[in-house]
Structure 1
Amino acid sequence: MGKIFKFGCLGIIALFVIGIIAMVAGGGDSTEKTSTDTKAVSKEGVSSDVKIAVGSMETVDSVGNEYTKEQAQGVFKILEVTLTNNQKDAITVDANSFKLVDNKGREFTYSTQGQTSFDLSNGGKTDFFLKQLNPGLTQTGKIVFDIPKDAEGLFLKASGGMTGKEIKLKVE
């Protein structure tokens, strides 16, 4: 009975030591990932086999035409984005897959009113609202963001399709 007790205690102590070693050794990876993911490096990237490229950016106070004019609360940033679907299936492209982020960490989604006015004045040719993109095809569109005038250091958070992995891309 004494030998069983000794081996049982040694086994529990060994498991405890192994558990502590595993916790200490496994903890380093998560901090390393967050430190490398904080900066947008390029104007082009790949998310879930969808190539995303940032084109030009325009700053305006209003969008639309004489019938559909929409005034920005801050300023409108109109960002041109090109997507190439390298997946095997069609993807659904939506403006909700894109967010502008400034150097204060504020995230801006696209402006529904600004996007609608802009699209109506351009015949709906440049929008990304629930568009299907088949494999091997490329689509370029413009996304309208209403952001504060003091927003600086902008980068784009984007994902390839509605379920793609989020990446960060340079804007300015």
Structure 2
Amino acid sequence: MKKLFKFGCGGIIGLFILLVIIGSLLGDDSQGTKEKEKELSTTINSDSNKDVQDEEQNVNIGEELKVGKVAFKVNSVAEVNEISAANGYMKYTPDADGAVFLNVNVTVKNDGSEMIQTDSSFFKLKASNGVSYTPSTIIVADDKYFVFEGINPGLALTGNIVFEVPAGLTDLDLQVQTGYWGTETGLINLN
């Protein structure tokens, strides 16, 4: 009987790994099923989905892009060397040499039936050469910037997303997403 309970450290780790594998196989597969259905739909309707993707990529500044139950609209884009926050008491400048801030003003509208959360991390700049830029980690103390905002159904919120980028950067798209996991995304042309 003592031999049955003598696993040792390696045996305990092996048992833990085995339990994790079994749990993942027996766990809720509804997300996996949804993803498989989505892939099948994409395969069957590849031509119609291609048209939708092309339409998303052709949305320009001032035009609304519907992603899931959220509508995004870029109102303006400005390259700036300094950002004032907290009623002008604090000023931020780019950290890197030769960098500027790209200030993107966006309106996010909740077309769903429940409150949504949005944050500057839901946005990403995509350059034509494949490079991606995440929002700057500027901490601001006013409502001009998306910091972690709730938007109730039928309402919209307008704010700025700030990216630190090389000066004169062109051929950019703004990637938007509907949640923390980025399961639904779209692109807005910033040129």
TM-score where L is the length of structure 1: 0.70
Distance 2:68 2:93 in 1: 36
Point out the structure with max Rg over C-alpha: 1
Matched, 1:40 2:53: no
- Of 163, 168, 180, which residue of structure 2 is paired with 1:145? 163
Shift of 1:86: 0.6
Does 2:182 align with 1:160? Answer: no
Residue number in structure 1 paired with 2:149: 131
1:97 and 2:117 matched: no
Deviations 1:92-138 (A, max 9, x none): 0111110111121111111012xx2xx33xxx111211110000001
The match for 1:84 is: 109
Match of 2:92 in 1: 70
Which residue of structure 1 lines up, in the alignment, with residue 26 of structure 2? Answer: none
Give 3-state SS (helix, strand or coil) of 1:77's partner.
strand
Q: 1:104 & 1:39 partners in 2: Cα distance?
A: 19
**Structure 2: which 5+ runs fail to align?**
1-42
RMSD of aligned residue pairs (Cα, Å): 2.7
Q: What secondary structure is seen at the aligned counterpart in 2 of 1:89?
A: coil
Decide whether the 8 Å contact of 1:94 with 1:128 is kept in 2.
yes
Deviation at 1:38, TM superposition (A): 10
User: What amino acid sits opposite 2:145 in the alignment?
Assistant: D
Q: CA deviation at 1:158?
A: 0.2
> Which structure 2 residues correspond to residues 17-36 of structure 1 after superposition, within 5 A?
29=46, 33=50
Q: Deviations over 1:16-39 (max 9, x none)?
A: xxxxxxxxxx79x59x85xx5598
Partner residue, 1:107: 132
Any gaps of 5 or more consecutive residues in structure 1? 1-25
* Matched positions, count: 138
Write the distance in 2 (CA, Å) between the matches of 1:39 and 1:149.
Answer: 27
> Which residue pairs with 2:8 in the alignment?
none
Structure 1 pair 40/102, CA: closer, same or farther in 2 (3 Å)?
Answer: same
One-letter identity of the residue aligned with 1:170: N
- Please state if 1:59 is matched with 2:79: yes
Counterpart of 1:55, as a letter, is N
Pair 1:86–1:57, CA change in 2 (3 A): same
